Structures are given as C-alpha cells and as structure tokens.
Amino acid sequence: MDQYATPRKHKRTPYNEHVLINDSIEVLCNNISEGGLFVHLNKALLPGSTVSVTFPQNDFKVEAMVQAVPSGGGLGVRFTSLSPAELAMIRGIIEQAEAAQSQRQTKPTVLIVEDSKNVREIHRLELVAQGFEAIEAARSEEALRILDTQRPVAVLLNRNMEKEDGFKVLESLKQSGRLAGIPVVVLTSTFDSDDKAKLREAGASAVLPKLTTTPGKLVSVIKKLVKG
C-alpha cells in the first residue's frame, strides 16, 4: 500500500460541491468524511504535500495532505491536525451533505455532465424549478465516479465538451448492466444526421441541438423519458 494511502476510517458521504485547493484551484468534490475529501482534479499534486482546502459555501478553510492519486483525474486529501472547532465545522458540512443526499433520495435526480459552469447552473435552476434535484459533473471522469455510488433518473450530457468527447460517458453508461436503463439526453453542437444516428445507436434516448433547445424544452423531454 502507498505510504500516503490510508484505510477508510470514516463513513463517506456524497458531496457534490466545489471547493478551492490552495485558494486558486476550483474543484468538484465526490465525497466527504471527517477524515478528508475526494475531489476531481486535472492537475498533478505531489502525494504527501500539504494543501489548503476552502469551503466557499461555509467561508471555512483547513489544511490537508495529498494522498495517493488514483488514475482518472481524482485526488484524495486527508485533513490534518483539525482543532475541535474545525472538526465541528467539518461535521456540520457533513450534516448538510447528508441532508442534501436525503432530499435527493425523495426527488428524482438528474446528472448534468457539462464543462461550462454557467451552462450547468442554467440547467440546474430549470430542473429544480420543475421538481427535480440536480447533481453536476464537469468532466466524464467525474460523471462516472458519481455514477459509481448514485443512480439518477436521467443524465443530461454535453456531446461537445471543450477538452473531451461526451460520447465516452454515453458508451460507459450503456455498457454497464446497472446503469444501462438510465435515459441519456444528449445536447450536441454538431447536429447532423450522421452524428445523431451514431449517438442513437450508442444508446442516447434523445439527441437535441444545443444552440436552439431552451432549458424548458430540455426538461420537458426529460420528464417524458422519466415517465416512460
């Protein structure tokens, strides 16, 4: 076992929020525990190095140590030397995450896979306004890690992300026996007949033009797919 990798001593709670590493790198979390965080990060950090972790929603910062970095863009960080007050804050954040998880379990949840933060927020607001919960992923690796532990009623997928092809998420979903039945709505900027046919053959439930599909129209399509 790597010297910086430690066994799981604490219960991990899904935590789909952004934090700042070293006051400058914004990353999306996958889960949180009293011991640390698992985040999605595209930059390599040296295992064993000390970083700061800021929770913008709570105006709170702690120190952490980088653990072994697994493949796929993920990063484990372990909280170090938490004071009683800091531990109480972490526990409060975990309680908030557990409450959010409980709420998601009572409402249908849609996973948004989109590299633009502004676009994700537009879709999230419309989904919430129409009775859904939304979880977000900025990269395919983030989406697949979320799908390891959560099963949304539908996935909203950007086909043409800046640095990668959303087709990877679609293929992975449809090749998974546990997830293959989840409807996937694909938004694509290259809305030609060949690409649409390729996406349909790969298992997309609906393929819509990204530039002309309104958030309201998008959610209405998701509703129809979810109701079957």
Rg of the chain (C-alpha set): 18
State residue 124 phi and psi, 5-degree precision: -60, -45
Residue 184 clears pLDDT 50, i.e. is over it: yes
For 176-188, what is the mean pLDDT?
Answer: 86
Rounded to a whole number, what is the distance in angstroms from the first to the last CA of the chain?
A: 47
Q: 77 and 92: one domain? A: yes
What confidence score (pLDDT) does residue 228 get?
60
**Helices and strands, number each (H, E), in the chain:** 6, 12
Last residue of a domain, one of 100, 118, 135: 100
What confidence score (pLDDT) does residue 1 get?
33
Residue 181 clears pLDDT 70, i.e. is over it: yes
Q: 163 and 223: one domain? A: yes
Number of domains into which the chain is organized: 2
What confidence score (pLDDT) does residue 180 get?
80
What confidence score (pLDDT) does residue 4 get?
36
What confidence score (pLDDT) does residue 68 get?
66
CA atoms within 13 A on the CB side of 44: 2
Q: What residue numbers bound the domain in which 133 lies? A: 107-227
The CATH number of residue 22's host domain is: 2.40.10.220
Last residue of a domain, one of 76, 100, 124: 100
Domain contains 207: yes
How confident is the model over 41-85, as pLDDT tens digits? 666 678 889 999 999 988 899 999 988 665 555 678 999 989 999
Q: 128 and 214: one domain? A: yes
Q: 87 and 156: one domain? A: no
Residue 5 clears pLDDT 70, i.e. is over it: no
Domain contains 7: no
Residues paired with 25 in a beta bridge: 21
| Local structure of 204: helix, strand or coil | coil
| Local structure of 55: helix, strand or coil | strand
Domain contains 150: yes
